[in-house]
Every structure is written in structure tokens, then in C-alpha cells.
Amino acid sequence: MKAARMAATTPRLTRAPMRNTTVSTALFERAQSLFPGGVNSPVRAFKAVGGTPIFIARGQGARVWDADGNSYLDFLGSWGPLILGHAHPDVVAAVQAAARDGTSFGASTEREVLLGEAIRAAVPSMERMRFVSSGTEATMSALRVARGFTGRHRFIKVEGGYHGHADTLLAASGSGVATLGLPDSAGVTPGAVADTIVVPFNDEAAMQAAFEANQVAAVIIEPIPGNMGLVPPRPGYLPALRRLCDAYCALLIFDEVISGFRVSRGGAQALFGVRPDLTCLGKVVGGGLPLGVFGGQGDIMSAVAPEGPVYQAGTLSGNPLAMAAGLAVLRKLDQAAYDRLDALGQRLEAGIKEALATTSVPAQFHRVGSVFTLFFCAESVTDFTSAKRADVGRYARFFHAMLDRGIYLPPAQLEAGFVSLAHTEDDIDAFVAASREALVASR
Ligand SMILES: *Cc1c(COP(=O)(O)O)cnc(C)c1O
């Protein structure tokens, strides 16, 4: 019965229509002479999936158009920031209005106060904060604050946890690095990571052992890791981290650069009911403009210059355009918005699971709200070691089969996809229909 219904509604396409890539290919040629790998951030180069990266000409809502005029339903969303989709009219208007008043002053403006207050109201653990221009700066600075505040040097991160590209944090750091097959980065000295302790994710005993063997300033962790693919924490894992940090007088830093304002208005800390000492935000909070934030308990943040001894600064920090975009996005993110995102996520999950069942492809589908990863492996994925067992060759074939069917996914297996408020039920159904074919085509 089910097969008959599907046959009636699904076109029996075995081959996707040819996609013209002439302009993208020519641009990529020129880009390669300018930029290492032809890109300004490594995963954009399609190294993990092969082929020529697309050059995007514009985006509107849930859709992007490449330089050759091909259009795609976008399930990457600029790697997470675009929770409202591309070029949302409110965001565009807010940025235009801010730009008319001047793009940067290197002095304080009202919008910083407004966005700061909006963030604190949504994420109460961020009693005080500082704006920076990227997630990398947020995590790097939060870590410096934790070390300055506690007077300790060592910190713990988990294997496959990505916290931007600061030297001290580039150890066993997931997706981009793992995708390139580099155990670490060249140019990061042993000294820079000498105080970086790496333990497996979701392993409370390993975390406890690391605390017992070291003087620990902080644990820095994505509460819902999204850079080894999406791998949710086991029940009880995050509360255990909170207890360990309290017992050893260390700070708990949640890197919510992906999960902040994405999985709920209060981020993963609201979802799991665990209050970190410091939080790092980026991506969604900047509405597609360069913005990061770190903040936390008031007395800890008092350690930051000029109030305290921990130096931290930025010429473009609190940038008016980024503040305006952030404010415009946060205004849209009420409970109804998260309910909507979850409903779309559920629809996608149900559809893809049915497609997996009918095609008998061994895979694990993970989802938290509007964030998802499809791992091509038969065993469950709970940490970086199990995530790395996923079949990257099959993912690469799936990725291209989807791209040829007009669906733009993360160009690497160990990354997360994103649904936005601009997606419709029809867009989700188009994703599912394309997956049904792509799962077969990528076998
Ligand atoms: C993207 C990301 C960062 C780095 O943010 P950038 O803005 O790229 O510097 C840090 N932590 C997590 C969890 C991220 O996903």
C-alpha cells in the first residue's frame, strides 16, 4: 500500500537534470590563484565531498542562487546563523537604517545596550557580557577570562568539540580539522596546547579523571556538539559537568555559538536546565553579520579590562550593523518561532526516516529542533570516535545527488544541517523526495 502511494507521488527519476556550472568553475579558477584552496574558510572548498564549490550570487528566504543561475533549497543556512532565512526584510531594513547612520565609530552606541539587554533577558546566566566579531574571539576570550579569574592554566575540552581557530583550542577539534585529516594544525606549537586536556565526549568518568589529575581552570564544551555532526549529550552528562566544576572550583563554559538562540531562546542551557559560568554566542545572534558574544556571572566578567586584569579589545566590537541585525533577528524569535522550527524539523525527521527504511540504507538521523545530521553508519553515534565511523564516501555521493536535485547541504559528513523559519512544509517535502532518490543514487 505504502509503496503504491509513493510510486504515485514520487517521480521515478533515476538521473537528475544536468546542472550548468560554467561560471562557478571559472570563478573558482580565479579564486584559487587568490585564496588558499580558493576559499576564505576551509570547509567551503568541498574537499570532503569533491567537485567544484558553488559560487552563490544571492539568497532569498530558504533559497540560494548560484552564479550560473541554478537555485537550491538551502539547508546549510551559512552554517547556522540564518534562522530567519536569507535577506529577511526586517534584517535588511535594520542593517540599511544602521548603515545610513554610520557603520563604525569605535565608541559606544545605544544598540549595544539594547542587544545586551535582549540577550540577558533570554539567557539569564549572561549577567554581563562583551561583544566581539566572531565565535572564535568569543571562545578565545572566555577561556582567557576563566584562566585569569581562577589563576589556573589548564582547561578541558572534548574530542571533536570545535571552538573556533584560536591556537589553544586547536586540539582534536572536530569537523573542519578532522575533515582535512589533520590531527592538529601546523603552526600551533606544543606549548600552545600544553595546557589543553582532551577527553572523549559523553564520558563522565574520563572527565572526572581529568579533574583529578590536573588543576583545571575550566571546561569548555558545546552543550549540544554540532561540529562532529550533531551529537546530543547523554541524559545527566551536562549536570555531571556542572557538579564536577563546582567540586573542583573550575568554571563551566558553554560554547553555544551554534545552539544559542537556535535550539531555544535560552539556548541549550535552558533546554537542559544547566547554568554555565560563562557562555559564548555567535552565528544566530548576529543575524548573518560578524558577531560573537561572551558573558556570564557578574563577578567573573568583572575580571575583564578595563574593570579587571584580563585584556580583551576589538576595533569593530559592538559594530552597529551587527547590533542592528542581531536585534532584528531576536525580535522574531518567540516561542511560536521555536515551535514552528521544531514542527518543520519533525516533518523532516519523519520523512527522512521513512526514506531510510524504504531504501534500507544504514544510517543514524540526529536532530535537536531545527539542527540535524544524517550519519551514514549502522551503529549509534555518541562521540567523536563513533562519528568518525560514518561512511564519508557515501555522504559525498549523497551530497552531490542532493545538490543535483536542488538541495544544498553541508559539504562534509561531520557537520550539521539547519532548517530556518523561511522553509515551508513544501520545502521539507521537497527535501524528503530528493533524499529518497539520492539515497538510492548514492548507494
Ligand atoms: C562556528 C563555531 C565557532 C567559531 O565561530 P566563528 O564565527 O566561525 O569564529 C565556535 N564554536 C562553535 C561551537 C562553532 O560552531
354 CA to centre of own chain: 26
Residue 79 lies in a domain: no
All residues at 6 or more sequence positions from 125 whose CB lies less than 8 Å from its CB, including other chains:
269, 275, 276, 277, 279, 296, 297
User: Please, which residues bridge with residue 219 across strands?
Assistant: 156, 252
Residue of 44, 257, 278, 280 to mutate, ligand 1, most atoms within 8 A of C-beta: 257
Same domain, 237 and 364: no
Q: Is 203 a catalytic residue?
A: no
Report the alpha-carbon angle 129-77-336, nearest 5: 70
Atom in ligand 1 nearest the alpha carbon of residue 136: 9
Residue 162 Cβ inside 6 Å of ligand 1? The answer reads yes
Q: Mapping DSSP to helix (H, G, I), strand (E, B) and coil, where does residue 332 land?
A: helix
User: Does the model's pTM come out above 0.85?
Assistant: yes
Q: Is the pLDDT of residue 45 over 70?
A: yes
> Tell me: the pLDDT tens digits for 363-388?
999 999 999 999 999 999 999 999 99
Kindly report the CATH number assigned to the domain that includes residue 408. 3.90.1150.10
pLDDT at residue 356 in the model:
97
All residues at 6 or more sequence positions from 124 whose CB lies less than 8 Å from its CB, including other chains:
266
> Tell me: the pLDDT tens digits for 250-263?
999 999 999 999 99
Q: In terms of residue numbers, what domain contains 258?
A: 89-330
Atom in ligand 1 nearest the alpha carbon of residue 259: 13
Average of per-residue pLDDT values in the chain: 93
Residue 169 lies in a domain: yes
Of 304, 330, 356, the domain-final residue: 330
Query: How many domains, the chain?
Result: 2
Confidence of residue 184 (pLDDT cuts 50, 70, 90): low
| Omega within 30 of 0 (cis) for the link into 306 | yes
Residue 437 Cβ inside 6 Å of ligand 1? The answer reads no
Instruction: Please tell me the distance from the alpha carbon of residue 425 to that of residue 414, in angstroms, as a whole number.
Output: 26
Residue 279 Cβ inside 6 Å of ligand 1? The answer reads no
DSSP 171: B
Same domain, 304 and 365: no
Of 298, 330, 362, the domain-final residue: 330
Handedness of CA 223, 228, 230, 231 (dihedral sign): negative
> Tell me: the pLDDT tens digits for 256-293?
999 999 999 999 999 999 999 999 999 999 999 999 99
Residue 175 Cβ inside 6 Å of ligand 1? The answer reads no
Same domain, 288 and 404: no
Which of 186 and 85 is assigned the larger pLDDT? 85
- Catalytic hit among 283, 338, 383, 408: 283
Q: Is the pLDDT of residue 14 over 80?
A: no
pLDDT at residue 7 in the model:
42
Instruction: Please tell me the distance from the alpha carbon of residue 326 to that of residue 423, in angstroms, as a whole number.
Output: 20
Q: Is the pLDDT of residue 176 over 80?
A: no
Q: Is the pLDDT of residue 5 over 90?
A: no
* Average pLDDT score over residue span 207-220: 96
C-alpha 137 to ligand 1 mean position (Å): 9
Residue 284 Cβ inside 6 Å of ligand 1? The answer reads no
pLDDT at residue 174 in the model:
60
Same domain, 106 and 221: yes
Q: Is 90 a catalytic residue?
A: no
Residue 82 lies in a domain: no
C-alpha 136 to ligand 1 mean position (Å): 6
Q: Is the pLDDT of residue 11 over 80?
A: no
C-alpha 12 to ligand 1 mean position (Å): 40
The kind and range of the H/E element at 66 are: strand 63-66
Q: Is 162 a catalytic residue?
A: yes
> Tell me: the pLDDT tens digits for 398-429?
999 999 999 999 999 999 999 999 999 999 99
C-alpha 115 to ligand 1 mean position (Å): 20
Residue of 133, 158, 163 to mutate, ligand 1, most atoms within 8 A of C-beta: 163
The kind and range of the H/E element at 270 are: helix 267-272
* Average pLDDT score over residue span 129-140: 98
